[in-house]
């Protein structure tokens, strides 16, 4: 596909897609030390926020007669509408600077199943683009896990 055609496909998919990307992390730890205020914040943003997004995006799409997709970025432990669930990606959510981004990528390569490969934001974007395209017209309720086989070989 040439650059002009690729840009047109992406532009069309974006105009017909509602994308939810909100999310926050909390420091992992023992359930014995769980801070319920932090837990409520994480659930409020990651679960309630996604549900509110889906509700309002669906209303807007139905109201305007827009056919398209609702794609949520999820985790490997959640599924809403169609979602992409990346294992770990060096982004501003997981890394505060280039050094920590390299650390995140190094850790993921070390524990990952596919050696020599680090999941990048563009991989997640391409997966979301697939779910937003007509190629996935009959896919619903699917969580596309982008973990290089990690959750199959090393269940969480």
- The pTM is what? 0.52
Sign of the alpha-carbon dihedral angle for 15, 73, 121, 38 = positive
Q: What is the pLDDT along the chain (156 residues), one digit of tens a residue?
A: 555 555 554 444 445 455 555 667 777 777 888 889 988 888 888 788 878 888 888 888 888 887 766 777 665 555 447 888 888 888 877 888 989 888 988 888 888 778 788 888 889 889 988 988 888 888 878 889 888 888 877 755
How many domains does the chain fold into? 1
pLDDT tens across 61-83, in order?
A: 888 887 766 777 665 555 447 88
CATH code, domain with 63 = 3.40.50.720
- The pair of structure tokens assigned to 149 is 């086989």
Distant-in-sequence, close-in-space partners of 90: CB < 8 Å, separation ≥ 6:
100, 101, 102, 104, 105, 118, 120
Give the range of the structural domain holding residue 133, as residue numbers without chain letter: 3-153
DSSP letter, residue 40: H
């Amino acid at each position: 596909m040439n650059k002009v055609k690729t840009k047109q496909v992406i532009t069309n998919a974006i105009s017909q897609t509602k994308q939810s990307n909100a999310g926050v992390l909390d420091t992992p730890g023992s359930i014995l030390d769980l801070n319920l205020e932090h837990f409520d914040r994480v659930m409020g943003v990651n679960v309630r926020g996604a549900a509110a997004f889906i509700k309002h995006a669906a209303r807007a799409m139905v109201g305007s007669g827009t056919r398209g997709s609702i794609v949520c970025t999820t985790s490997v432990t959640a599924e809403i509408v169609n979602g992409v669930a990346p294992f770990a990606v060096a982004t501003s959510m997981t890394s505060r600077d280039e050094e920590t981004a390299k650390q995140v990528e190094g850790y993921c390569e070390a524990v990952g199943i596919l050696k020599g490969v680090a999941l990048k934001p563009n991989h997640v974007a391409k997966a979301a683009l697939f779910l937003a395209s007509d190629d996935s017209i009959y896919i619903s309720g699917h969580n596309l896990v982008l973990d290089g086989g990690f959750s199959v070989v090393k269940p969480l």
